[in-house]
């Protein structure tokens, strides 16, 4: 898990020109002329974030609806920071939607912050995540500071406990063969023999033996 993002995306001269020519207000973010820039941003930030959401730290998917470019300081209020490199991080759509346009600053700003002091939430570039939030069992979030608690509240990270419970429920309902095949991936050599034997019993049933 990346505790914080070490370096932001670096826009090329050509990309800066596209932004300068085509970005007039925050709703322009959705214009197709920025698609290539967004793809490059995602490609650059994925490894820097170890492919995890900057707020919940869960793994990001690769499909179009499984990863968002998140504006840490909302672009609706601070549109001049829409393409500020340190205002851009990757999040899961769930965290992005829940956080939405809620305020994240103690005081209004004119220039982009250089540290996390004025931020009410964990800033992915300025704050070490593990100093503010501890994750138990992959889905239970404990705030270790006021920033941690505020991040949990704004992104509704408590929602993920339910996701985990549903996942476990679905797994327990899956077929015995699917369960055995999934167990095989993490089994020791001795356990593998037992699982393969159990799989044999199941497949024999299908053969009518």
Judged by the rule CB under 5 A, the positions of this chain that interact with Zn ion are: 53, 55-56, 92, 95
CB 119 within 8 A of CB 126: yes
Q: Other C-beta atoms within 10 Å of 197: how many?
A: 9
Helix 35-48 to helix 13-22 angle (10° resolution) is: 130
Complex with Zn ion: residue 116 or 124, whichever CB lies closer: 124
Q: Among residues 41 and 53, whose Cβ is nearest to Zn ion?
A: 53
Q: State residue 59 phi and psi, 5-degree precision.
A: -65, 140
* CA dist 68 → 1, 113, 177, 203 (Å): 18, 22, 35, 43
Q: What's the min distance (Å) between Cβ of 147 and Zn ion?
A: 16
Q: How many CA atoms lie within 13 A of 143 on its CB side?
A: 17
| Nearest CB to Zn ion, comparing residues 92 and 104 | 92
Closer CB to Zn ion, 36 or 165, in the complex: 165
Smallest distance, Å, CB 53 to Zn ion?
A: 3
Question: What is the closest distance, in whole angstroms, from the C-beta atom of residue 57 to Zn ion in the complex?
Answer: 7
With respect to Zn ion, which residue has the nearer C-beta, 37 or 95? 95
**Minimum CB distance to Zn ion smaller for 42 or for 80:** 42
Closest distance between Zn ion and the C-beta of residue 68, in Å? Answer: 9
């Amino acid at each position: 898990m990346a505790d914080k993002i070490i370096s932001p995306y670096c826009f090329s001269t050509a990309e800066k020109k596209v932004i300068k020519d085509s970005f007039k207000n925050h709703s322009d973010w959705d214009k197709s002329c920025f698609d290539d820039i967004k793809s490059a941003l995602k490609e650059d930030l994925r490894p820097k974030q170890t492919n995890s959401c900057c707020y919940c730290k869960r793994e990001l998917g690769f499909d179009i609806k499984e990863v968002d470019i998140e504006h840490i300081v909302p672009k609706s209020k601070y549109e001049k920071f829409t393409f500020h490199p340190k205002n851009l991080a990757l999040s899961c759509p769930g965290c992005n939607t829940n956080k939405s346009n809620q305020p994240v600053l103690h005081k209004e700003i004119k220039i982009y912050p250089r540290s996390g002091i004025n931020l009410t939430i964990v800033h992915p570039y300025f704050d070490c995540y593990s100093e503010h939030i501890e994750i138990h069992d992959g889905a239970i979030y404990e705030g270790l500071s006021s920033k941690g608690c505020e991040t949990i509240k704004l992104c509704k990270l408590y929602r993920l406990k339910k996701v985990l419970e549903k996942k476990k429920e679905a797994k327990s309902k899956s077929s015995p063969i699917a369960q055995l095949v999934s167990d095989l991936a993490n089994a020791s050599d001795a356990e593998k023999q037992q699982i393969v034997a159990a799989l044999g019993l199941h497949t024999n049933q299908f053969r009518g033996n």
